[in-house]
């Protein structure tokens, strides 16, 4: 029952998001509308709980994992649930497509940056938690910071599926160079 209710809520949300982008150029206004849709879906906490979306096994190296909730046939409008159990940080990176993150449970700090000749300089930050969301344009740069403690669940939605994004850059602080993330592969299928 809960699976059906969840699938219906996801499908309706993604349909609304697809509709609201039709004929519009992706920019802050459209991303704001997408944020509102994902915040609304994130409010259905009984559908997106740690019981149904467990975090990585205790001995796993990565402390977060991704579940695919929706993806169009052409790999557009990819919606994932990200669950972290333990400390997680991601280096400064872009996405090469638009991205929206909305909080379901726990707190994920997002820090934003601009490029400077010797790397990046922070320009702001926002905590993503229940009732809030952040949006990024394809070239925007952010880092993610999750503290150890309670599990953190949130939605990550991208203009294109992560397996298709093989040109995302990240700043390697030790070597002081921009590098390219390999395309994501370890995504758990959660579509029914
Ligand atoms: Fe990111």
Average pLDDT, the chain: 95
Domain annotation for the chain: domains and CATH numbers:
2-161 (2.60.120.10)
pLDDT score, position 184? 76
Instruction: Name the packing angle between helices 28-42 and 2-21 (round to 10°).
Output: 170
Contact status, residue 145 vs residue 109, Cβ threshold 8 Å: yes
Phi, psi dihedral angles at 9 (to 5 degrees): -65, -40
Cα 58 to ligand 1 centroid, rounded to whole Å: 24
The pLDDT-based confidence of 186 (bands split at 50, 70, 90) is: confident
pLDDT, tens digit, for every residue of 121-149?
A: 999 999 999 999 999 999 999 999 999 99
Cα 171 to ligand 1 centroid, rounded to whole Å: 12
The pLDDT-based confidence of 192 (bands split at 50, 70, 90) is: confident
Cα 93 to ligand 1 centroid, rounded to whole Å: 6
Pairing of strands 64-70, 76-84: antiparallel
**Is the pLDDT confidence value at 1 over 90?**
no
DSSP letters for 119-143? EEEEEEEEEE-BT-EEEE-TT-EEE
pLDDT score, position 137? 97
Predicted TM-score (pTM) above 0.85: yes
């Amino acid at each position: 029952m809960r699976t059906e209710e969840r699938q219906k809520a996801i499908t309706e949300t993604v349909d609304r998001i697809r509709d609201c982008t039709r004929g519009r150029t992706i920019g802050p206004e459209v991303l704001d509308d997408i944020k509102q849709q994902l915040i609304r879906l994130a409010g259905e906490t009984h559908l997106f709980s740690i019981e149904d979306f467990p975090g990585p096994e205790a001995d796993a190296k990565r402390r977060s994992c991704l579940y695919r909730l929706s993806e169009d046939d052409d790999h557009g409008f990819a919606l994932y649930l990200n669950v972290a159990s333990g400390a997680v940080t991601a280096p400064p990176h872009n996405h090469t497509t638009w991205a929206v993150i909305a909080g379901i449970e726990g707190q994920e700090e997002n820090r934003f940056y601009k490029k400077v000749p010797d790397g990046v300089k922070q320009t702001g930050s926002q905590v993503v938690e229940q009732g809030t969301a952040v949006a990024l344009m394809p070239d925007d740069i952010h880092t993610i910071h999750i503290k150890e403690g309670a599990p953190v669940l949130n939605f990550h939605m991208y203009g294109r599926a992560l397996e298709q994004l093989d040109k995302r850059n990240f700043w390697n602080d030790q070597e002081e160079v921009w590098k390219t993330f390999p395309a994501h592969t370890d995504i758990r299928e959660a579509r029914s």
